[in-house]
Amino acid sequence: MSIAPSPADLSQCVHCGLCLQNCPTYLQTGYEAESPRGRIHLMQALGDGRVEASEAYRQHLELCLVCRNCEGVCPSGVHFGRIMEAGRAQLYERASLSPRERLFRRLAFHELLPHRARLRAMFGALMIYQRTGLQRLVRASGLLPAPLAEAESLLPDLPAPFEPRWEVMTAEPPLRYRVGLFTGCVMPLVYGPVHAATLRVLRHNGCEVHIPRSQVCCGALNVHGGERQTAAALARQNLRAFLGRGLDAIVVNSAGCGATMKEYADLLGADDPDVQEFTGLVRDVTEFLADIELVPPSLAVRTRITLQESCHLVHAQRIKAAPRDLLARLPGVELLDMAHPDLCCGSAGLYMLTEREMSMRILDDKMSEIAATGAQTIVTANPGCMMQLQRGVARAGLKLDVRHVIELIDDAYGAHAGGRQALV
C-alpha cells in the first residue's frame, strides 16, 4: 500500500486555477498554499526533497477540508481526494508530533473508531451525562478546558441507539430487493433515528434488509487522517460482513462513509474480485431509492426546505440529482435553494474540532446563505453535516430544523403510523 501520492496523479494537475473559486479555504484566505493546486505543488516539493514536513507544511495540508469540490470543476480530472489522503499518510510518516497530538490520534484512530463496543460504552456514558442533569452543571461551572468544552458543545441530544433485534429484517410484501444496511460507527449512537427511518423506508419499498452485526467503521476518518493501514483492516472486515449474502445493494445513508466504501480499491487493490464486487454494490440511500420504482409518498410534509448538498455525495460520489428528485416527490415540500448549496459547511469529519477557526468561518458564511432562503428546515445527507449545521443554527440564533433526506421521505410515508414502526 503506497503512503505517498502517485506521481501520475500529481502530474495530472496543469495548475490552470479553475479550482480556486471552488475551494472553501482559498475563498476564505486568498492564499495559493490553501488552494488545491497550491497543495499539490507542496506535495510534489516534499516528494522531490525540496521542502520538509515542517509545521507550516503540515498546516497547509491539514487546513484542507478534503471536500473535493475542486474535482467537480477540474478539466484534467485530477483525483484530489486520493492525492490528499496519500499526502497526509506521507506527512504523518515524517512529521514530528507532540505527545498530546500522538495521544489524540492514537485514541481516535486506533482505540475508539475501530471498536464498536468501546464507542457504545463511551456514548452510553455521555447519554447518562446528558439525561441526569450533569451536563447543565458542568457547563454552568465553566471548568472544562476550552478544547474539551468545544467538543462537548458539538454533541446533540443523544437518542436511544439504533439496535435492530435481528440481522435480517423482512420486507413489506412483495419482496423486491435484498439489501444490506451499513450502519457505521458513530451514526447509530448519535443519529439512530436516521437509521430507523432508512430501515422503515427500505422495508416499505419491498426490501429485505440485512444488518450484519460483524460490520465495523468504514474507515473514512482514518483515511482522511492518513491512517491507511487501520482503514484497510476495517475495509476487509466490512467485505467479510456483507459479501456472500446475495445482496442487490449495500445501502449507505452517510455520504462520507459511502464515498470511502466506493473507493476501497484505493486501500485494498483494484484487482481483488471481492473489492470489485463490494464497491459495485455500495449505493447511497438517495441513489438507490431514486433508481427503483419508489412507492409514491402520499402524506403532505408541508415545510419549506433548503438543501445542503453533502460534499462527499455531490463531489466525491457525483450524486446531485437523486436527493432533489426524491424531495420533489414529497407532497407539501417547497425547496428554496441557497446561493451555494454545494459548497462545504465546514464539518469535514474531525475538522470541526481540529481546525475550529476555519470551520467556523465557513459555517458562518453558510448560515448567512441559509437564513436568506427563508427555509424552515435544512436537509442534508451526512451525519457530520447534520452536526455542523445544528451547531450553526444554535450559533446564529435561528429557529430551523436539521433533517436527513431520508427522514422527510419517512415522514411522507407516515413514519409513526401503525404497522410502520421499525423493529428495533
Q: Give the tens place of pLDDT for each residue, 79-92.
A: 999 999 999 999 98
Diameter of the chain measured on Cα atoms: 67
Q: Which domains occur in the chain, in start order?
A: 7-94 (1.10.1060.10), 99-154 (no CATH), 168-291 (1.20.1050), 303-412 (3.40.50)
pTM: 0.92
Task: Give the per-residue pLDDT at 150.
Answer: 74
Task: Give the per-residue pLDDT at 418.
Answer: 43
Q: Which of 62, 109, 107 is nearest to 87 (CA)?
A: 62
Per-residue pLDDT band for 424 (boundaries 50, 70, 90) equals low
Which of the residue ranges 197-211, 317-331, 406-420 would you say has the lowest mean pLDDT?
Answer: 406-420
Find residue 168's DSSP bridge partners: 210
- Work out whether strand 177-182 and strand 207-210 pair parallel, antiparallel, or are unpaired: parallel
Q: Where are the alpha helices (DSSP H) in 12-79?
A: 24-29, 36-48, 55-62, 69-73
* pLDDT > 70: percent of the chain: 97
CB 93 within 8 A of CB 3: yes
Task: Give the per-residue pLDDT at 136.
Answer: 85
Q: Which of 365, 350, 294, 279 is nearest to 326 (CA)?
A: 294
Distance CA 113, CA 234 (A): 10
* pLDDT > 90: percent of the chain: 76
Element counts in the chain: helices (H) and strands (E): 24, 9
Nearest-5° Cα angle at 359, 356 to 361 = 110
Q: At what angle do helices 405-412 and 321-328 cross, to 10 degrees?
A: 20
Which of the residue ranges 108-112, 150-154, 183-187, 326-330 would you say has the lowest mean pLDDT?
Answer: 150-154
Contacts of 208 (CB under 8 A, 6+ apart): 168, 169, 170, 171, 175, 177, 178, 179
Distance CA 237, CA 260 (A): 14
Amino acid, res. 88:
R
Find cell 526533497 and name the residue: 49
Contacts of 366 (CB under 8 A, 6+ apart): 308, 338, 343, 345, 346, 389, 392
Tell me: pLDDT of 423 over 60.
Answer: no
